[in-house]
Amino acid sequence: MNSHAFQRCILPQCGSVASLDDTKFFCPKCGNLMDVAYDWDKVRPPADLREFEAKWTRRNEPLEFSGVWRFRELFPFVKDADILTIGEGQTLCQRSDYVAKYTGMNPGQVYLQYEGMNPSGSFKDNGMTAAFAHARTVGARRAACASTGNTSASLAIYCAASEAMRAIIFIGSGKISYGKLAQALDHGALTVQIAGDFDDALARVQQVSKKLGIYLVNSINPFRLEGQKTIMYRVMEALNWEVPDWILVPGGNLGNSSAFGKAFIELMDMGLIKSCPRIAIINAAGADTFYQLYERQNLRWNGGRYEESLVASYMHGLDVANARADTIASAIEINRPVNLPKGLRALERCGGVVREVTDQEIMDAKAKIAAGGLGCEPASAASVAGLKKLRAEGVIAAGDRVACILTGHQLKDPTATVAYHSADPKTFEDVLGKRGVRRANYANRAVQVPNDLDEIIKAIDVYA
């Protein structure tokens, strides 16, 4: 075992520890979530974050090429030999004045962190490579997850690349977009479709993993979140190691939000940055548990002494009403975010806020992001829709510097995109209208023309 890294309960008042090779991922004493923790006196991190830049010249070394592992001194829990990299984290933080204009921000102040560039097309690869490395250190041969589609695509691709791990994925019935389902099937994952939604699938996969001793890679796995910290390192690197004023991130299971918070808290504690950005977590209005609890019921981390009974009674209310999450942003169609306490912790240290945005706002923002040159899936666009809202409220100033995280690629969910731009009212209604989207405000409709040269030329003259 690695003596400088271990697992520790997130509640400071508990603080129970577990060894690095424990795969239960819940506190043995109080049952809460665990962190991966490090003894930084034994493993000195770099004295200056700029030291990571030097690694850009070592592109022929796979671990330095990886946008995740080149930062591994900031999450030293694994031996290099156990790492499988497929080039994850080679992503871009792009300035977008087009999106700045749409959201009411000043030019030069909005950056889009485009995680759709990952090998499986979503940010999940950042975390999956880390969890996968841990799975190999403990000798796992099978790994499982419940998923709204991206975690499963990511697990499937790593398992396929390793040839030595079997992927078992649980998905809700009819709840996964075709792009994502296609990936799981094509990469050879055992795909278990259960009659239920994501929240049901996550509960089941935990039971099954425990019973069968299968390694679990959902974001309750703290090793996954270690890899996701690197998304923030890359944002800062792109901004010349300056901390932005705001990070905006879609909130589903709150794994990203938790990882981002941990990244900043650690860097602050190590004296590597002087301030944290503020974090805005954006829920879809049809899956807004975190918004309801944080903004409406004032639930706070409170140094670890958060009111667990408030969470329990909210969840009980969902049960009684048989309430189901419902949003076009299927990736974040989640009512029971498993990382809720870690999300609260991130918001406390980073001075955060939570907002909810409608499917109309999400789809319009998505169309604008695409018109500005980056393609993302609906859940990702929640970050930009949230920026527009927070700017309109005056919470974010036009001159603040912000980074919105575009978590998944446009091609993950072509159905939503085609329905938005479709000229066929039925297609629009079936996919979007039934979810309360009234108008495709930024639709780019295909032009119908007869198969006739003059008519085609006429149409082009009219429209372009």
Distance of alpha carbon 388 from alpha carbon 58, whole angstroms: 39
Answer yes or no whether residue 287 interacts with ligand F0G by CB under 6 A: no
Strands 110-114 and 402-406: parallel
Answer yes or no whether residue 407 interacts with ligand F0G by CB under 6 A: yes
* 273, 379, 387, 431: residue in contact with ligand F0G (rule CB under 6 A): 379
Answer yes or no whether residue 165 interacts with ligand F0G by CB under 6 A: no
Answer yes or no whether residue 341 interacts with ligand F0G by CB under 6 A: no
**Strand (E) or helix (H) holding 402:** strand 402-406
Answer yes or no whether residue 251 interacts with ligand F0G by CB under 6 A: yes
Count CA within 13 A, CB hemisphere, residue 57.
Answer: 3
**Residue number with CB closer to ligand F0G (76 or 255):** 255
| Residue 359 identity (one-letter amino acid) | D
Answer yes or no whether residue 253 interacts with ligand F0G by CB under 6 A: yes
Contacting ligand F0G within 17-46 (CB under 6 A): none
Residue 156 C-beta: closest distance to ligand F0G, Å: 11
- CB-count burial class (<10 Å; 0-12, 13-18, 19+) for 415: middle
Give me the 307-336 binding string for ligand F0G, x by CB under 6 A, dash otherwise.
Answer: ------------------------xx----
Q: Which two tokens stand for residue 17?
A: 């520890």
By the 8 A CB rule, do 119 and 148 touch? no
Residue 428 C-beta: closest distance to ligand F0G, Å: 23
Q: Which two tokens stand for residue 202?
A: 């996550």
Report CA 422 to chain centroid distance, whole Å: 28
Residue 53 C-beta: closest distance to ligand F0G, Å: 27
Q: Which stretch binds ligand F0G (CB under 6 A): 29-37, 206-214, 254-262, 430-438?
A: 254-262
**Residue number with CB closer to ligand F0G (85 or 122):** 122
Report CA 461 to chain centroid distance, whole Å: 43
Q: Which stretch binds ligand F0G (CB under 6 A): 38-46, 54-62, 135-143, 246-254?
A: 246-254
Q: Which two tokens stand for residue 260?
A: 């981002």
* 85, 137, 151, 335: residue in contact with ligand F0G (rule CB under 6 A): 151
Nearest of 241, 188, 189, 257 to residue 217 by alpha carbon: 189
Count CA within 13 A, CB hemisphere, residue 130.
Answer: 31
How many of the chain's residues bind ligand F0G (CB under 6 A)?
23
**Residue number with CB closer to ligand F0G (273 or 406):** 406
Distance of alpha carbon 249 from alpha carbon 252, whole angstroms: 10
Please give the C-alpha separations between residue 443 and each of 213, 341, 370, in angstroms, as whole numbers: 49, 39, 11
Residue 4 C-beta: closest distance to ligand F0G, Å: 27
Residue 216 C-beta: closest distance to ligand F0G, Å: 13
Nearest of 99, 91, 94, 147 to residue 123 by alpha carbon: 91
Q: Which two tokens stand for residue 286?
A: 């049809």
Residue 149 C-beta: closest distance to ligand F0G, Å: 5
Which runs of E-coded beta strand occur in 107-256? 110-114, 142-147, 166-172, 190-194, 215-216, 246-250
Residue 208 C-beta: closest distance to ligand F0G, Å: 16
Residue 306 C-beta: closest distance to ligand F0G, Å: 18
Distance of alpha carbon 445 from alpha carbon 389, whole angstroms: 27
**Residue number with CB closer to ligand F0G (143 or 254):** 254
Residue 249 C-beta: closest distance to ligand F0G, Å: 7
Contacting ligand F0G within 111-150 (CB under 6 A): 122, 124, 147-150
At CA 107, angle to CA 106 and CA 111, rounded to 5? 100
* 23, 380, 410, 422: residue in contact with ligand F0G (rule CB under 6 A): 380
**Strand (E) or helix (H) holding 160:** helix 150-162
Residue 151 C-beta: closest distance to ligand F0G, Å: 4
Residue 139 C-beta: closest distance to ligand F0G, Å: 25
Q: Which stretch binds ligand F0G (CB under 6 A): 37-45, 248-256, 314-322, 418-426?
A: 248-256
**Residue number with CB closer to ligand F0G (73 or 186):** 186
Distance of alpha carbon 408 from alpha carbon 362, whole angstroms: 14
Radius of gyration of the chain (CA): 22
Q: Which residues bind ligand F0G (CB under 6 A)?
A: 122, 124, 147-151, 219, 250-257, 331-332, 377, 379-380, 407-408
